[in-house]
Amino acid sequence: MRYQLDAEGKKRVTVIAGDGIGPEVVAATRAILDATGVRIAWEEHEAGAEVFKRGLASGVPKETIASIKDTRVALKGPLETPVGFGEKSANVTLRKLFETFANVRPVREMPNVKTRYSGAGVDLVIVRENVEDLYAGIEHMQTPGVAQCLKIMSRKGCEKIVRVAFELARAEGRKRVHCATKANIMKFTEGLLKKTFEEIAPEYPELEASHIIIDNCAHQLVRTPSQFDVIVTSNMNGDILSDLASGLIGGLGFAPGANLGADIAIFEAVHGSAPKYAGKNVINPTAVLLSGVMLLRHLDEFAAAASVEHALLLTLEQGVYTRDVRPEGSVSTTTFTERVIANLGRKSEQFQVRDYRPLLMREFSSDPVFVRPERRRTAGADLFLESPLSPGDLGRSLDQIAEATPLRLKMISNRGTKVYSDTGAMTDCVDQWRCRFVLRDGDGDLDDAPLFDLLRRVAAAHRWMHVEKLQEFDGQLGYSRAQGED
């Protein structure tokens, strides 16, 4: 069951008011959702600034975690990480704690919200992978002046997000799914998402599936947004694209979101706590309200969800709006909320509400091993060194060191470009080098002993910080070539 009932049969939802404008937008949303007559038992818990200030480094108390684990559904206001308290964002902590791997962000033109795109037919959903990619947060200073962030993407993670995108398109009666990646440059990470998408697409024959390069996707979104229905993309790309998309329809005040996992769903607006507006009763509650509409559908309250959506569209159609739309003639947050409540049960004439069906979340095995190759081989290793030497001097030194071993230096690259042996490239080198050693026996399988021996010899002359094996799975290379490497 996606949600739990209390003793009176009410649907239990954990609610976190959040920081800044959070309490105002969450109160508005609760009032409207309650006015539909849906019986929700709100369980209030805290997270964010005040919790950090009390000295809890995660910003999320254990009672809040326990409540979400129990209810499985949360409505959340924006959370701040105050400067000087805690290192990690409480928002990211919540998403990761409950493995809410899909971030669903719908973007739709709203009545009377004039933008450059009014009339352009913007009505799309961005499905962003929510836990992997550069947001795994694995970063290192490899030398005092060179930083690295690991972009981790898994076949399992790609399959989960791709399935959510196709299932969401089905549930919302949409026609097209685009997969937006940078697979042309990052063939293994972004390429895995593209490959997975192309493998799964035939299971959804009624949906038009196409791949688009992420930069062109941004360009096309700005030129002709109506061509998009559902866009599935990786974490970092989705973060940027979804903010761009919310800019097409009048800004963050109108951009809702849901963080969906296999067991838990957390609904929240895309926007933050906008502290300068806190307590002023001027901000737009629409983004959290539309997140609340998504929450109602998650609770199988489809009629109530449609009723709130109609009431909101009608309210805007009647020319009732908050300050972010236009300061002149705007109303307060509370007046806007009252007008939406007054419109419950009435329908917008011009704007349609989709006929939503339940979103099917596929179950995945919790076995960490998702792909099992029949064959694997290690062809060599990349040793990452810190050195002030020139490429030529470093290369000659490593050539000499490897002479007495089963490995030979194949090449050295600097920030991905081959610099040894010399290719004539005009590379401005830094002190971090990737030194690629391969077995002299081209078909051999490298054991750990010769690799440790090589590392010991290299470490006697140079400073090293990282080793990566060059693996092949079922005959496919599991590593990229450097720019200029043959």
Question: Residue 388 has which token pair?
Answer: 């002030």
Least Å distance between CB 78 and ligand NAP? 3
What residues contact 350, with CB distance under 8 A and at least 6 apart?
Answer: 111, 317
For ligand NAP, give the closer residue by CB, 229 or 324: 324
**Residues making contact with ligand NAP (CB under 6 A):** 21, 25, 78-81, 91, 252-253, 268, 271-274, 283-284, 287, 324
Residue type, 174: R
**Which residues does the annotation mark as catalytic?**
135, 182, 215, 239
Coil, helix or strand for 102? strand
Question: Residue 56 has which token pair?
Answer: 């809890």
Least Å distance between CB 414 and ligand NAP? 35
Closest CA to 220 of 180, 264, 162: 180
In terms of DSSP bridges, do strands 176-181 and 376-386 run parallel, antiparallel, or are they unpaired? unpaired
**Whose CB is nearest to ligand NAP?**
272
What residues contact 430, with CB distance under 8 A and at least 6 apart?
Answer: 143, 145, 146, 414, 415
Closest CA to 407 of 464, 447, 460: 447
Residue 394 near residue 386 (C-beta atoms within 8 A):
no
Closest CA to 145 of 415, 407, 432, 398: 432
Least Å distance between CB 325 and ligand NAP? 9
- Residue 421: asked if its preceding bond is cis (omega within 30°), the reply is yes
Least Å distance between CB 84 and ligand NAP? 13
For ligand NAP, give the closer residue by CB, 81 or 242: 81
For ligand NAP, give the closer residue by CB, 283 or 299: 283
For ligand NAP, give the closer residue by CB, 272 or 450: 272
Maximum Cα–Cα distance across the chain: 84
Q: How far apart are CA 481 and CA 418, in angstroms?
A: 9
Question: Counting beta carbons within 10 angstroms of the beta carbon of residue 96, is it exposed (0 to 12), middle (13 to 18) or buried (19 or more)?
Answer: middle
What is the CA angle 321-324-329, rounded to 5?
45
Closest CA to 115 of 311, 325, 265: 325
Least Å distance between CB 49 and ligand NAP? 8
Question: Residue 286 has which token pair?
Answer: 């629409």
For ligand NAP, give the closer residue by CB, 292 or 395: 292
For ligand NAP, give the closer residue by CB, 88 or 347: 88
Least Å distance between CB 223 and ligand NAP? 24
Residue type, 281: N
For ligand NAP, give the closer residue by CB, 274 or 409: 274
